[in-house]
Each structure stands twice: as structure tokens, then as C-alpha cells.
Amino acid sequence: MQELELDKKHFFILTLILLSIFLFHLLLEYQNFKELTSLRYYPISAKVLNEYHKTTKNGKSYTLLKLKSSNGVKFFGISWKKDIKNLTNSFIKCKVYTKDLSFYRYLRGFFAPIYKIIKINKEDNFLKNYLSSYIALQHKNYITREIFSALFLGSNIDKKIRKKIQSLGISHLVAISGFHLGVLSFLIFFILTPFYKFFQDKFFPYRNPKLDLMIVALFFLFGYLYLVGFIPSLSRAFVMLIVGYIFYIRYIKILSFKILFLTMLLLLAFYPSFIFSISFWFSVAGVFYIFLFLHYFGDLNRWLIFILINFWVFIMIQPIVHYIFPSFAISQLLSPFLSMVFIIFYPLELLLHIIKEGDLLDGMVLKLLEFHTVEISIKTPLWFLLTYIATSLLSIYKKIFLYLLILEALFFFLKFLIFN
């Protein structure tokens, strides 16, 4: 297969198209923003995605509600009411104080005081509700109930459970991402291939099964994407799958930095707010380091690639992760091993839940979550982060790659001596 090549003319046209799409969607976002700020106290209907009960330094209690309005705007609502509890996954009506809200804060995700909160009866996505109940009824323990709901439906997880997951370095496994999409794609191919082969041999032996089954898989995956609410990391993976499919049928190499960059630009053009999405950028970074590994070590034995790539991505993404999340525990070193086990665990759990035996491995999951080590704070300095990202991007050239490895080694050396 050949590399993607664009001459100056086509590059200019593509840039113009993407820029036009970006500006159009930015204008739509701005119209939503103007509507929201048209009144000092703007009335909205919203779903409560999560709730956090906090206390100020002065000892005053308040509640932070993560909300998603009926037109898709996500933000954090601050309420000083004392009787707010158990609103997660419920629908409310309230008034949002938007006087000091800027368009930048609106895009980034904002905090705003909310008043006159009224819980309302409203049905969420029927299928998602049904599946959520279907999963919940198979688990007696609330921890596994929340974990598997998040694993399959992208639901929010309780803060205490999330902290346990973070201490094991497996947040990327529980939060739905491109990895899960890849496993689902494989399962769709695995299930449908025998049926396709049967009809292909009789009626259309000239067809390419990979191309036809990919179209079917994309329809299923889009339905899943809609079901879980177009999660940024999952959206990136889905768009990349479509772009990869288009280029694959044109015999263009799809495991390419250019394809990743094009996918990133497409998503930012359609979803300008992704610029401020941490999960989106972590997803892009993860795929970039996978491609970087394959760029230099793609000729290794496949099983060796499978083992090494999990350690590689875990190690290479650490400087970026510790800029956002300073917390580090020795138990996080289990992450590469658990990532390899997860490739079997995820489809197995999917099968067990289908046959209503979802709690079969709950004991093992709970035992794993009990494993805990002392946490320390390691904050990557901004100067090191920027140097590391720039070196990573330039490391696609062989002469710079060595400097990236040296920088990574330096990070782990300084990690425990200076940065903490």
C-alpha cells in the first residue's frame, strides 16, 4: 500500500474545506452561547450526569452537579441548597446564572451557579435505560454494577471507585475508547463472517468480505456511538475507522501519522469544543505513540509487538498524564499487564452479560480493586511537557527519535528526585 500524498492544490482545498466546517460549527456553538446568555438567569432542562458534595474552606457545604442540557451543552452547576442528593441520572429544571460567562469558558466547560432546582419525570434513552437495568440486575455489589455500566454504556462512576481505578492505572480500560471499538469490530467480524461466507459462496463469490463486513460493522458501531452519547475518545476512533476504510479501499496505508492528523482535524472541525477535551487529546496521544512504535518496530514478531506495545504506550504517555493527573502509585505499574488481560476479559464479560452470568468474575474484580499502594504526587512541569510533546512530534524522523528516548529516561529519573 502507498502513503497518503497531497499536492499543494489538494492540500489547499482540504484546508479550506476543514476550516469552513470548523467556522460553521463554531458559529453554531456561538449561537447556542448567545441564547444561553440572553437572560441573566436562563431556564434549562438538563440531565444530571454526576453529583459531588463538597465543602468550602469556611466549612460551608455545596453541591456540584455535572449537567447536560437538552441541547447538548455540558457544564457544572453549583448549588448551595442542602437537600440535594441522589440526582445522578435524573432530569431537572433549573435556572443558570450566566451574567459573567464568556464564549471561551462556554467552549471549555464552565462552572455556573444554579437556582430553583426541580426534579422532573422524563424518560432517558429507552434502550440505554433497559441495558443499564439489565446490567445492574446481574450484580449484587454496587462497585461492579457501576464499573460494568461504565464499561459497556459509558456511565459515570462514583468518585471513590474512580480513585481505585486510577490507582491501578486502568482508567483507559474502564472509560470507553477506541480500544473497545476495536474489540467490538473484531466481534462483529467474528460473528458475521460465517454467515457472509455461506451466502458469498452461493451468490457473490466476487465480493470482498472485508469491505462488505466493514460497512455492516460501521452501522452497528455508529448505533453504539449514539447510544453512549458520542464520547470524544470513541468519536475519534469511529471517525478514524471511517477514514481508514476509505483509504483502505483506495490502497492507501492507514497506519499513518497523516491519517491520524487528518482524523484529528476532521473531529475538531465538527466538534470545536474537543479542543478542550482531555480525553480526546489523551486518545490522540495514545494512538500517536502506537503508530510511533509500529513506525520503528513494526517488523517484529506479532506476539512480541502485542506485549511490548502495551508497555511502550504506558511509559511514553506518562509525562503527559502527570501534567494533568499528578497522583502516582506503584500499583499503576500493573497497567500494561492488565491491558493485555483486558483483551480477553472484555469480550468474555460481554458474553457473560449476554447470557445473564455477568457476576461470575465479580469476586476477581473486587479483589483487584482492593490492591492499593501509597500514592505520591508527581507533577510534570510545563516546560518539560512542551519539550516532550515537541520532541515526540519530531521523533517520526529517526535522528530525533533517540532524543525522545533520552528525554523519556530523564523524565523517569527526575520523576522521583525533582518533580515531586
pLDDT at 416: 65
Contact between 32 and 73 under an 8 Å Cβ cutoff? The reply is yes
Beta pairing class for 327-329 and 375-377: antiparallel
User: What is the rounded radius of gyration, in angstroms, for the C-alpha atoms of the chain?
Assistant: 23
- 84 torsion bin: left (phi>0), alpha (psi -120 to 50), beta (else): beta
pLDDT at 305: 92
pLDDT score of 419 more than 60: no
Beta pairing class for 74-79 and 327-329: unpaired
Rounded to two decimals, what is the model's pTM? 0.84
pLDDT at 418: 58
Position 287: which residue type? Answer: V
pLDDT at 124: 63
pLDDT at 3: 67
Maximum average pLDDT range among 77-86, 118-127, 141-150, 225-234: 141-150
pLDDT at 14: 86
Q: Would you list the domain boundaries of the chain?
A: 33-120, 171-379
- Mean pLDDT value across residues 191-201: 85
**DSSP SS3 for 134:** helix
pLDDT score of 420 more than 80: no
pLDDT at 176: 80
Mean pLDDT score across all residues of the chain: 85
pLDDT at 1: 62
pLDDT at 72: 76
pLDDT at 266: 87
The grid cell for 318 is 506518562
In this prediction, residue 199 has a pLDDT band, given cuts at 50, 70 and 90, of confident
The tens digit of pLDDT for each residue in 262-278 reads: 888 888 998 888 888 88
Higher-confidence residue: 7 or 400? 400
pLDDT score of 414 more than 80: no
Higher-confidence residue: 384 or 229? 384
pLDDT at 417: 66
The tens digit of pLDDT for each residue in 113-134 reads: 999 888 887 766 778 888 888 9
In this prediction, residue 389 has a pLDDT band, given cuts at 50, 70 and 90, of very high
Beta pairing class for 111-120 and 375-377: unpaired
The tens digit of pLDDT for each residue in 31-40 reads: 989 988 888 8
pLDDT at 30: 92
pLDDT at 148: 92
pLDDT score of 372 more than 80: no
pLDDT at 374: 74
How large a percentage of the chain has pLDDT more than 70?
96
Name the E strands within 70-213. Answer: 74-79, 91-97, 111-120
- Mean pLDDT value across residues 284-307: 91
- Local structure of residue 368 (DSSP, 8 states): H
pLDDT at 6: 66
How large a percentage of the chain has pLDDT more than 90?
25
pLDDT score of 29 more than 70: yes
Residues contacting 267, CB < 8 A, separation 6+ = 232, 235, 236, 239, 274, 280
Report how far Cα 127 is from the mean position of its chain's Cα atoms: 22
pLDDT score of 379 more than 90: no
In this prediction, residue 2 has a pLDDT band, given cuts at 50, 70 and 90, of low
pLDDT at 290: 92
pLDDT at 137: 92
The CATH superfamily assigned to 33-120 is Nucleic acid-binding proteins (2.40.50.140)
